């Protein structure tokens, strides 16, 4: 799964960007496209969390896995069948060796290549600086599937008499993306342009990092309070993952603001990273 995602995501973004390459009049459309790409990907994720999770837990786990697998196969066939309609640019001729030599201090090697390394080196440095900021964001975003998910397992998963799936908190992340992408694209960004406020791509990433940091701080406060409840004996027993777990008597919905903030940061940082590329 990790290998397939690692291959699919970067190539999807690259292939999508190629459809707008060398078309300056469609630059604004290209930037908007990546926002809507992320929007519909989140819609699909929402359907997966609600629909597939329900099927896996209450109908059949193999069926819940088989349906997405079938859709992936159909999409692959459809993409291949319609490949003539897409712009397909050849990969760059530059080898990894040449790229490394352009960005190191190997003066003789650069002369042998007969290239001016100043511009490529400057471009690579800018990209590395940008990626260093994104690395920080993805470290925070990774907490969704690790620390924050673990925290949800030891919070109260009941709403009145209903038992809530432990993945419920993820919905707030997806809801934030689904709401904020069209809101930013149709309202916020045009409004800032009218005010002649330059909200650059790097500004968006910075705000996204700030929101994600606030989410981590908020989650830390929740954990401190949760441990206080456990020490005071304010706990509930609940059946999670095939075993009984002692959880704090604190609703899992307290995680909603953290997941929403991370979703907002995702809209500002991740979508911007696609546009930057």
Residue at token pair 């949760």:
226
Q: What integer pLDDT is reported at residue 99 of this predicted model?
A: 47
Whether 225 shows a pLDDT value over 90: the answer reads yes
Angle in degrees, 0-180, between the axes of helices 168-183 and 256-276, rounded to the nearest 10? 50
The three-class DSSP label of residue 241 is coil
Q: Report the range of poorest mean pLDDT among 72-76, 103-107, 198-202.
A: 103-107
Triad 165, 169, 170: Cα angle to 5°: 100
What is the pLDDT confidence band of residue 27, given thresholds at 50, 70 and 90?
low
Q: Report the range of poorest mean pLDDT among 79-83, 214-218, 224-228.
A: 79-83
List helix spans (H) across the chain. Answer: 2-18, 27-47, 53-58, 61-81, 96-102, 107-113, 118-141, 147-153, 168-183, 189-194, 201-231, 256-276
What is the pLDDT confidence band of residue 5, given thresholds at 50, 70 and 90?
low
Model confidence pLDDT, tens digit, residues 108-155: 444 444 444 444 555 566 666 666 766 777 776 676 667 777 888 888
Q: What integer pLDDT is reported at residue 214 of this predicted model?
A: 92
Q: What integer pLDDT is reported at residue 263 of this predicted model?
A: 87
Cα atoms in the 13 Å half-sphere on the side-chain side of 139: 8
Whether 231 shows a pLDDT value over 80: the answer reads yes
Q: Report the range of poorest mean pLDDT among 4-13, 186-195, 247-256.
A: 4-13
Mean pLDDT within 254-271 = 86
């Amino acid at each position: 799964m990790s290998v397939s995602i690692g291959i699919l995501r970067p190539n999807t973004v690259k292939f999508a960007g190629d459809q707008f390459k060398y078309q300056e009049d469609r630059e604004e459309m290209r930037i908007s496209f990546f926002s809507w790409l992320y929007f519909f990907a989140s819609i699909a994720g929402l359907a997966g969390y609600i629909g597939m999770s329900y099927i896996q837990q209450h109908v059949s786990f193999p069926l819940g896995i088989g349906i997405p697998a079938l859709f992936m196969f159909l999409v692959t066939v459809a993409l291949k069948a319609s490949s003539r309609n897409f712009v397909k640019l050849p990969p760059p001729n530059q080898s990894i060796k040449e790229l490394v030599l352009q960005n190191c201090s190997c003066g003789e090697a650069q002369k042998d290549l007969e290239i001016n390394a100043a511009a490529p080196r400057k471009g690579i440095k800018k990209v590395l600086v940008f990626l260093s900021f994104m690395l920080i964001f993805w470290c925070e975003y990774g907490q969704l599937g690790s620390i924050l998910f673990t925290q949800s397992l030891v919070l109260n998963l009941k709403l009145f008499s209903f038992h809530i799936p432990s993945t419920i908190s993820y919905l707030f992340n997806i809801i934030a993306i689904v709401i904020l992408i069209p809101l930013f694209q149709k309202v916020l960004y045009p409004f800032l342009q009218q005010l002649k406020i330059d909200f650059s791509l790097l500004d968006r990433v910075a705000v996204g990092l700030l929101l994600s940091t606030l989410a981590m701080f908020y989650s830390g406060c929740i954990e401190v309070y949760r441990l206080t409840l456990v020490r005071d004996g304010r706990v509930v027993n609940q059946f999670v993952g095939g075993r009984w777990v002692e959880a704090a008597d604190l609703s899992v919905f307290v995680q909603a603001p953290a997941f929403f903030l991370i979703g907002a940061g995702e809209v500002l940082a991740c979508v911007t990273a696609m546009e930057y590329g």
